Amino acid sequence: MHKLFARQLAKATSPSGEVDLDELGKLAGAAYEQSDRDRRRTDRSISLMIEEFDSLNRGLERLLEVRTKALREREAELKAQNLRFEAAVNNMSQALLMFDGKRRLVVCNERYIRMHGLSRDVVKPGCTLRELLEHRKATGSLAIDIDRYMTGMFETLSAGTTMARLVELPDGRTIAVLNHPMADDGWVTTHDDSTERQRAEQRIAHMARHDALTDLPNRGLFRERLAEALSGVNRGNNLAVLYLDLDRFKGANDTLGHPMGDELLKLVASRLRHCVRTSDTVARVGGDEFAIIQNDIEQPLDTAVLARRIGEAVSAPYDLAGHAVVVDTSIGIALSLGDGVEPDGLLKAADMALYGAEADGRGTYRFFEPAMDMRMKFWRELEVALRQALANGEFDLHYQPLVNVDDRRITGCKALLRWNHPERGMISPAEFIPVAEEIGLIVPLGEWVLRKACIDAASWPDDTKIAVNLSPIQVTHQNIVPVVISALAAASLPARRLEIEITESVLMHNTEKNTATLHRLRELGVRISMDDFGTGYSSLTYLRKFPFDKIKIDRSFISGLPADNESIAIVRAVAGLARSLSMTATAEGVETTEQLENVRELGCVEMQGYLFSPPRPLSMIMPLFEPQRRKLAKSA
Ligand code: C2E
Ligand code: MG
């Protein structure tokens, strides 16, 4: 019997043992109701629990879904990133390697494999640095001691510093290698092929210190080498510095054209190289200037021998596209034995000696002498004094008549500049004009000459002319036409009475521009003469470039008359040429009656020279016009 029913039965049973059925029924009913209530409560709790489980489940599923999606996205992103990394690594211009803390390869890009021609079978993730280096050695892209290299490398890396070095490969390439430590004891290595850059740098460095045309050291490198060589003087290395200037180069350059001039310089450079020992230095230090360091000399004679050898080598004829060209060289020499062991001092001494050699006549050599230094000082003082002279009114003009050879009538006068220096007295224009040209003073000075000459000439007979020298500097660097117009206007002098005298050097440079200037002067009515004809490189060439009104045959040809046959032939030829070109032929520097007779016979129509009159001050020239004035007055 069920315990509950037993208890209910006991409750419904009277002490006499009678069972109260109603009571039992009530009790049983109540029990059933209670049980129903309990079951219903239980059912409710169960369904609540199930609901909770369901919602928990759904939540978890949603979370799982979100997480899975995020993971997938992350994975795709990583994949893309990986691809990008690989693309970047394989397309770098540098070769790249990455090693982990166990010295094993993690990453190696294509560039590295190709740069060193390696096999992917060996060079792959996991291989050690040693294996990789040994593979490189075996395949010929490395020629170093692997053990030493690795020791040095790990020492640097473990100190946390980047190791950078340039490695020469057996095939000549230069590789910039960089080993950079990483946090996990690994490192990144990059290899950069810097062969081209290296070569370009070397080329630039070479170009900065060499002359592009001849490939000889330039002035800078020459000075460096000289300083270096002079530091060895104490150890007994005595040396000489030779300074060379090519004579007649400018003429050849202008006549044959610059490409030929360049070719000539290259040939000269090569001959010079052959004259010296390999331990000596030949440099190009200017347009047609060269310098040489001759090492290990025992006595000045050693240098004299070299200078003579150079003179002979340089002056041998050159064949330039069928043209036979001859140039000479003047050489100035300074010796460490005696002239100083200081580079600049020695260079200056050689330069001064060169001036000396050039003054001696071209094609020679000269050793430096202290007297040259004195001359240089004088030159420098001249420069200072010259600048003040114009302002101080120290200049004057003298006039030298130009005379008709037949009737000795004065056709005009040439203006010649005179400098009356307060202390030194008269200084010759031959001495100061070159200085005035060099410092640019010739421009204002020449203008002063022109203005004064025009004013002075305005009071001379109307059929006389005034001849004025124009320096090449004035024609090239000054707008000379308006200056001439203004000088004529200020003096009220007709243009036909002015004669401009130029030398062929005016037409040697800036030929086109200068010819145009001369044409403009000519259009004004001014006459143009070629002065000092025959002294230049190729005066005849310049006669073709401009239709001169007059040729003045240089004094050096007249002084040979009447004895020298060569002078006779030249004067005759030039006078004949002048006549056929409708130019006046004037003989300069006629000093004797024989010379006068001679130049007349040879065809000159005019002369200038001491025979008739030296250059004189204006006041002494004026009386010379008197006979002419009287004649003019009579005929009027
Ligand atoms: P230049 O223009 O050829 O002048 C002729 C020179 O020869 C003058 O020298 C003159 O005195 C000299 N002379 C003339 N006749 C004789 C002679 O029979 N025998 C000798 N032995 N010499 C004679 P100077 O006056 O010393 O002038 C020298 C040079 O200086 C001139 O040569 C010219 O090139 C330059 N010069 C003079 N004045 C000027 C000037 O105003 N401007 C420029 N740019 N140069 C000038
Ligand atoms: Mg002259």
pLDDT, tens only, 73-105: 999 999 999 899 888 888 888 999 999 999 999
What CATH number does residue 336 fall under? 3.30.70.270
Rounded Cα distance between 584 and 561, Å, is 20
Residues 343 and 253 in one domain: yes
The token duo for 175 is: 């590789």
Confidence at residue 537, expressed as pLDDT on a 0 to 100 scale: 60
Q: Using N-to-C axis directions, what is the helix angle for 300-315 and 258-275, rounded to 10°?
A: 140
For the chain, the domain total comes to: 3
Say whether pLDDT at 275 is over 80: yes
Say whether pLDDT at 493 is over 80: yes
Confidence at residue 536, expressed as pLDDT on a 0 to 100 scale: 67
Given a contact cutoff of 8 angstroms between Cβ atoms, the answer to whether 147 and 138 are in contact is: no
Reduced to 3 states, what is the DSSP secondary structure of residue 555?
A: helix
Residues 152 and 230 in one domain: no
Does 88 map to a domain?
A: no
Confidence at residue 578, expressed as pLDDT on a 0 to 100 scale: 92
Phi, psi of 240 (to 5 degrees): -125, 145
Does 1 map to a domain?
A: no
Does 422 map to a domain?
A: no
Confidence at residue 127, expressed as pLDDT on a 0 to 100 scale: 95
Confidence at residue 539, expressed as pLDDT on a 0 to 100 scale: 66
Residues 220 and 338 in one domain: yes
Mutate to test the pocket of ligand 1, among 399, 416, 473, 586 (most ligand atoms within 8 A of CB): 416
Question: What digits encode the pLDDT tens for the residues 188-244?
Answer: 999 999 888 888 888 888 999 999 999 999 999 999 999 999 988 777 789 999 999
Residues 214 and 334 in one domain: yes
Question: What digits encode the pLDDT tens for the residues 448-484?
Answer: 999 999 999 999 999 999 999 999 999 988 889 999 9
Confidence at residue 416, expressed as pLDDT on a 0 to 100 scale: 98
Looking at residues 10-16, what average pLDDT do you find? 88
User: Closest Cα to atom 10, ligand 1: which residue?
Assistant: 615
Residues 604 and 565 in one domain: yes
The token duo for 408 is: 């000795």
Cis amide linkage into residue 181, ω under 30° from 0: no
Does 58 map to a domain?
A: no
| In the chain, % of residues over pLDDT 90 | 62
Question: What digits encode the pLDDT tens for the residues 27-54?
Answer: 889 888 998 999 999 999 999 999 999 9
232 Cα: distance to centroid of ligand 2 (angstroms): 51
Residues 174 and 278 in one domain: no
Residues 219 and 168 in one domain: no
Residues 477 and 563 in one domain: yes
Does 15 map to a domain?
A: no
Say whether pLDDT at 282 is over 90: yes
Does 415 map to a domain?
A: no
Question: What digits encode the pLDDT tens for the residues 102-158?
Answer: 999 999 999 999 999 999 999 999 999 999 999 999 999 998 899 998 998 899 888
**Confidence class for position 294, pLDDT limits 50, 70, 90:** very high
Burial class of residue 82 in the structure, from the number of CB atoms within 10 Å of its CB (0-12 exposed, 13-18 middle, 19+ buried): exposed
What CATH number does residue 458 fall under? 3.20.20.450
- SS3 of 488-548: HHHHCCCHHHEEEEECCHHHHCCHHHHHHHHHHHHHHCCEEEEEEECCCCCHHHHHHHCCC
Residues 319 and 193 in one domain: no
Q: Who surrounds ion ligand 2 at CB < 5 A? A: 531-532
Confidence at residue 7, expressed as pLDDT on a 0 to 100 scale: 86
Given a contact cutoff of 8 angstroms between Cβ atoms, the answer to whether 590 and 596 are in contact is: yes
Domain boundary among 352, 373, 394: 373
Greater confidence (304 vs 165) lies with: 304
- How far is CA 60 from its chain centroid? 79
Q: Report residues whose beta carbon is within 6 angstroms of any ligand 1 atom.
A: 400, 415-417, 428-430, 433, 446, 449, 469, 471, 531-532, 555, 589-591, 608-610, 615
Question: What digits encode the pLDDT tens for the residues 255-266?
Answer: 788 899 999 999
Counting from 1 in the atom list of ligand 1, the atom nearest the Cα of 433 is 45
The token duo for 274 is: 């052959």
pTM: 0.55
What CATH number does residue 174 fall under? 3.30.450.20
Does 149 map to a domain?
A: yes
Confidence at residue 96, expressed as pLDDT on a 0 to 100 scale: 94
Q: Which domain holds residue 301?
A: 210-373
Say whether pLDDT at 23 is over 80: yes
Among 354-363, 402-411, 622-631, the range of highest mean pLDDT: 402-411
| CA distances in angstroms from 19 to 3, 11, 13, listed in the order given | 17, 9, 4
Residues 233 and 171 in one domain: no
Residues 252 and 320 in one domain: yes
Residues 226 and 326 in one domain: yes
Domain boundary among 154, 174, 198: 198
Say whether pLDDT at 583 is over 90: yes
Greater confidence (403 vs 237) lies with: 403
Does 62 map to a domain?
A: no
Average pLDDT, the chain: 91
User: Closest Cα to atom 21, ligand 1: which residue?
Assistant: 589
Pick from 244, 241, 297: nearest CA to 269: 244
Domain boundary among 373, 392, 412: 373
The token duo for 49 is: 């629990």
The token duo for 382 is: 């001249």
User: Closest Cα to atom 2, ligand 1: which residue?
Assistant: 469
According to DSSP, the β-strands at 289-294 and 240-247 are antiparallel
